[in-house]
Chains A and B, each alone.
Chain A
């Protein structure tokens, strides 16, 4: 078999830290080759070596059999290697075509020739079924569409080898399905793809082979058809991983959260939460399933006091907390794992110890007579760091330099340690790898088993199905149905989330389909 790219025994060091140690990755022509590893395992480093952003300390790279020295990204470009970045590199107020030609604008007598470029973009878009309008402005098109522009950008520059860096991280389930189709189309046209990911489902769905790396070490390459998610997960993490989080039955008791006829407006004054009713009881996890932008953020912000309530009431432990300041809500017994950990969850330029004190810094014994005791803060932080397995050099390390998973564990530790009656967890596992996800899910369930109420907001159906005791489906600011995970299917949830009402006919059909799906 012919290899288009071979990375042989690559070694990359940063000072004393070895980010890549003897990693080998061989990409066959026309395959989708997944690169699997936990956050911080060294996937991005390896790809940056291939893309010419880093120079390796050892090993060699061959492209189409010839040894090459990729000293910078331009060399990679000339070799036909293109990268679709996780965070798009697009100029928001430029058109699709303008973004694609940026840096290599075709000119006619000194004037940019956009017409020809747009035609070329159009043709490429058609060939690969991308369905992109070359004249659309980037800020007007969806995230999925923007990603296609990134793909077009590499194709326009003649890429034969495409690197996709965590391409599904910000996509909706529908967009993910479309992306998979696009990738298959690219392969059919003779391109080769390296897919960086830590999502096992995607790998099983689209890849031909998988190279696994763990803590900078190459673990090996396996053929996807001959493996299964369990094996991949244990290869990646280095131990057995439970997918279905162990969970006993729920024994819900009194209501902790009771929301009645809640209306919340967004910053433009448009109602995003419309007459919403919901309750969460002690000893249960209620999951809110829904597509991003259906009022989830506004709902959480209203409960936690970060956003004004237009009308309706929110009770916590039978106390009316509507319109109270965030601190009053917190003190009423609410813990909040915010959906954006960098914006709300952490002060990134504070040490991690300071961050762990973010909800308690003003209380005794940390604060006395206006003076703050950082020894006490660090003492407490050390305990939480140990209890929640936060991998850090210690409480003095800046929050910014922790990996996403460890930042999230620190936040969860902070919120859970206060033992709140109601824990609101908004997208608690976004961007995390299976090991961290497993840990976080078990912590949420532990809270439930300790008789606390948990409100989980997630865009991932697996997560909602796996962790919740009841699932409230939100669509356009309303709870359209409340179901239990035992009696529903992902398809059913998907329809509810899209705003369809389920009658018995549809349910029956879905049931049949589901039966055929059982492996």
Chain B
């Protein structure tokens, strides 16, 4: 079998298998899978509004996926995208509320604040890894909790004891009248353009710059990188900073686009953790992240329609969605099975 054929066939077979197993789960729980999947489809593509909302949901996944993928390509596992996203969210919302400036300054400033906050949150584990060889997984996990509770406390302070900030000034908003008119007043905002630009930025850094060459070399083989005269520690820190900045931007999407405020949270948003799956589904390439984020965003948003339209409890829906993603993620098992089947055929000949 040619390489290209398997590359197309594998994800396709994976999705179909996932849907089939999901259908079985619905069947044994006493729900009609056809009705369930129709509801899922309508939840994603039903009308212009749901399409707009689906795209809106995809936006932060894109950036969170980029953040994880970028770190992976540099040989680092940034499990702290969640925390970096939360501080980015807060920073953008704070800048959006605290001052009122002309849009041309205010919006970029708020976005920048989110990127810087995320970058800073990535810098700490990067520094610890570079200087003291502390594993980034431990530090970033802990930084997630710090982010969650520190922002909660800050929100309380900023809102005089409340649990959410004011709405941001429109001068800092990513909301788009144009997109709203196009999609029957969904919350789709200009952030999706920014996210797509960032996909290009990641590609540019990795494939076209000297820095990208170094980051990838360090990611693959630190010894050879050192031999070649690269500053391994600098590259580790930079990789975490850039990854954190992507994550911070994901937070800005929520702060300046979807919600236009930040409220204190009882737990994590989950977007940062899903970003790990998005990156892995996309094999850590910029284009792959678009695929992963689209799949994740669509399923997550479309699933919300399943309890409404098909009466399937949210718990079952989440199991079904997880099963589909599980099958896509186990693409290599499918690949193996396909290869084995192909070999059998060859031997039979």
A residues within 8 Å of B by Cβ? 304, 306, 325-328, 330, 336, 338, 343-350, 354, 357-359, 361-362, 367, 370-372, 374
Residues of B within 8 A of A344 (CB): 223-224, 226-227
Beyond A306-B226, A344-B223, A344-B224, whether A371 also contacts B209 by CB under 8 A is yes
Beyond A325-B229, A326-B226, whether A347 also contacts B208 by CB under 8 A is no
Residues of A within 8 A of B129 (CB): none
What are 28 A-B contacts with C-beta separation under 8 Å?
A326-B226, A326-B228, A328-B229, A330-B229, A338-B227, A343-B221, A343-B223, A344-B226, A345-B227, A346-B224, A347-B221, A347-B224, A348-B220, A348-B221, A350-B216, A350-B220, A354-B217, A357-B213, A358-B217, A358-B224, A358-B228, A359-B228, A361-B213, A367-B210, A370-B211, A371-B209, A372-B208, A374-B207
Query: What mask results when residues 29 to 47 of chain B are scored 1 for a CB within 8 Å of chain A, else 0?
Result: 0000000000000000000
Q: How far is the CB of B284 from chain A (nearest CB, A)?
A: 12
A336 touching B227, Cβ below 8 Å: yes
B209 touching A372, Cβ below 8 Å: yes
Query: Counting CB contacts under 8 A, is B65 at the interface?
Result: no
B225 touching A347, Cβ below 8 Å: yes
B209 touching A345, Cβ below 8 Å: no
Residues of A within 8 A of B214 (CB): 361
A306 to B230, CA, bound (A): 11
B208 touching A350, Cβ below 8 Å: no
Q: How far is the CB of A511 from chain B (nearest CB, A)?
A: 43
Size category of the B interface is 20 to 34
A359 to B228, CA, bound (A): 5
B residues within 8 Å of A by Cβ? 207-214, 216-217, 220-221, 223-230
A370 touching B221, Cβ below 8 Å: no
Q: How far is the CB of A361 from chain B (nearest CB, A)?
A: 5
Beyond A347-B221, A372-B208, whether A359 also contacts B229 by CB under 8 A is yes
Closest CB pairs A-B (n = 6): A327-B229, A344-B227, A358-B228, A367-B210, A326-B229, A349-B220
Residues of A within 8 A of B221 (CB): 343, 346-349
A362 to B225, CA, bound (A): 13
A51 to B217, CA, bound (A): 38
Residues of B within 8 A of A358 (CB): 217, 224, 227-228
Cβ-closest chain A residue relative to B229: A327
Cβ-closest chain A residue relative to B204: A371
B224 touching A343, Cβ below 8 Å: yes
A354 touching B229, Cβ below 8 Å: no
Residues of B within 8 A of A304 (CB): 227
A282 to B135, CA, bound (A): 46
Q: How far is the CB of A19 from chain B (nearest CB, A)?
A: 17
Residues of A within 8 A of B209 (CB): 370-372
A357 to B217, CA, bound (A): 11
Beyond A361-B210, A370-B209, A372-B213, whether A347 also contacts B226 by CB under 8 A is no
Residues of A within 8 A of B211 (CB): 370
